[in-house]
Structure 1
Amino acid sequence: MTTATSAAFEQHRNLLFTIAYDMTGSVQDAEDVVQETWLAWSKVDAERLEHPRAYLVRITARQALARLRRLRAAREDYVGPWLPEPLATGGDPAEDAGRTEDLTFGLMVVLETLSPLERAAFVLREAFGYGHGEIARILGRSPDAVRQLTHRAREHVQARRPRFPSDPRRARRAAERFLSAALGGDMATLMEVLSPDVTLWNDGGGEVRAALRPVRGARKVARLMSAVGPRYARLHARWIPGAQPAVLLTADGMPVVVLVFDLDADRIRHVYGIVNPGKLRHLSDMPPPSWRTGEEMASDQPSRPGW
């Protein structure tokens, strides 16, 4: 293995991880895909390649596609709703290298309903801006087949794509009101901030007690959250950087739950709650500034700065 081989891989590592994560929805599986890509890449003489980035992307996408096919079979036996692993973004500008569009958590949930090939084609086309010919070479399909894949995927996604306000400050304020009301057991405020057709998804994976089916409707969600929320009031919380509001609650430095919010106008339309410990372990490395207890959040008034 040459120095050039190692340098080329490190240059594109963030891109490869992001592609693998967008295709699998799993941080651990994305890391495994990147490791598999490295093992294949280490046997290549990078100095003889005209386009090392394209070569690396092709290896990564094919490895991720093969892994996604295996994961889909395993997820059929998953206990309760399966949600993607939350990923903190926005801290390092290089973290999303190569992306032309951010894939929100809500959109990642929708991508789970695509076939593995449709998902691969959609991610490469919509999130990274690859042309049909490039995607065809990556996936080993004809350009016409890729056009059909991306067309079907785009139609499917547009019909189900979550909506949220373009102004991230409005989205954040609505999410903050929800969190404060839930931790304080304030059902009235929850009813104000929830869309009438809101859906709450909980992912415990059989490891932690959680609703096994989506909870639908503002009254049902508000009743559940006002009853359960105060149990988390003594935990520490911080907002996770990213394209949409997401908050992490921890106990003794260990992640306990992540809540991610999709909004329609100023009301919350989807709440995704991830409590499966295996999907939160990687967030224990997040830096700790600006932690606040849930009780402090619940005591805040909406008129206060930042809340």
Structure 2
Amino acid sequence: MLVTQPSSRATPLSVEDFARRNLDTLYRFAYALCGNRATAEDLVANAFVKCLPHWNNIRHSASGYMRRAIVNEHLNQVRRQSVTSVLSADLESEEDVAMRAVNTVDALRALETLSLMQRTVVVLRFIDGMSSGDIGKLLGKAPGSVRRITHEALQTLRSNGSPTETDNRAARE
């Protein structure tokens, strides 16, 4: 049943319209979180699967719900992988290691030095362009905590000689 909305609000998007307008942005967001194209596609697909049954309730703020679902799915995968990696550390082939090294870019390497929370906040803030308040709402943290996490993440990147900081120093010299 279609519920009519007051004229001051835009017509809610269908799942298809939302996907058509936002899929690329959601993929970029997921890729920035995980650093792997296939995993990013899985994260977005799983987020759609989880949000679809609730679409009538969330479609007015679907973007936030989708991002949160992507973050949650990523956190779940990281937890599962940490257990699996301990159990199968010796099973990784040399080819897998080589392919991973080839596909790694400087920015992703720098992000990998951060904790999971720091990486999530940095991606949301600087890649997705969200404010501290919006990130706080999404992650269930106070805006001040988000700013502190961002500050600590930037300090870590600077102390590790992140590629962007190194490039900036080289450009100044």
Two-structure CA RMSD over aligned residues (Å): 3.1
Q: 1:86 aligns with which of 90, 97, 103?
A: 103
Highest RCO, 1 vs 2 (Cα 8 Å, sep ≥ 6): 2
Q: Percent identity?
A: 23
Cα deviation, 1:104-129, whole Å, max 9, x if unaligned, reads x2010111111111100011011111
Aligned partner of 1:118 in structure 2 is 118
Specify the code of the residue in structure 2 equivalent to 1:144. G
Cα 1:58–1:108 shift into 2, 3 Å: same
Q: Is the 8 A contact 1:27 1:85 kept in 2?
A: no
Aligned partner of 1:161 in structure 2 is 162
Cα 1:15–1:21 shift into 2, 3 Å: same
The answer to whether the aligner puts 1:137 opposite 2:101 as a matched pair is no
Q: Residues of 2 paired with 1:13 and 1:84: CA distance?
A: 27
Unaligned 5+ segments in structure 2 are: 3-12
Cα deviation, 1:61-113, whole Å, max 9, x if unaligned, reads 222233234335555637587847739xxxxxxxxxxxxxxxxx201011111
Specify the code of the residue in structure 2 equivalent to 1:120. T
Specify the code of the residue in structure 2 equivalent to 1:40. K
Q: TM-score, normalised by structure 1?
A: 0.42
Unaligned 5+ segments in structure 1 are: 88-104, 167-263, 266-307
Q: Which contiguous aligned blocks of 4+ residues in structure 1 show a shift greater than 6 angstroms? A: none
Q: TM-score, normalised by structure 2?
A: 0.71
Mapping of residues 240-279 of structure 1, within 5 Å: none
Report the Cα offset of residue 58 of structure 1.
Answer: 2.0
Q: Is the 8 A contact 1:136 1:146 kept in 2?
A: yes
Larger radius of gyration: 1
Going by fraction, where is helix more abundant, 1 or 2?
Answer: 2
Q: Residues of 2 paired with 1:129 and 1:117: CA distance?
A: 16
Q: Residues of 2 paired with 1:66 and 1:154: CA distance?
A: 25
Aligned partner of 2:147 in structure 1 is 147
Aligned partner of 1:42 in structure 2 is 52
Q: Residues of 1 paired with 2:58 and 2:80: CA distance?
A: 33
Specify the code of the residue in structure 1 equivalent to 2:111. L
Q: Residues of 1 paired with 2:28 and 2:81: CA distance?
A: 18
Q: 1:32 aligns with which of 36, 42, 46?
A: 42
Q: Is the 8 A contact 2:47 2:73 kept in 1?
A: yes
Mapping of residues 182-201 of structure 1, within 5 Å: none
Q: Residues of 1 paired with 2:108 and 2:162: CA distance?
A: 10
Q: Is the 8 A contact 1:24 1:67 kept in 2?
A: no
Q: Is the 8 A contact 1:25 1:84 kept in 2?
A: no
Going by fraction, where is strand more abundant, 1 or 2?
Answer: 1
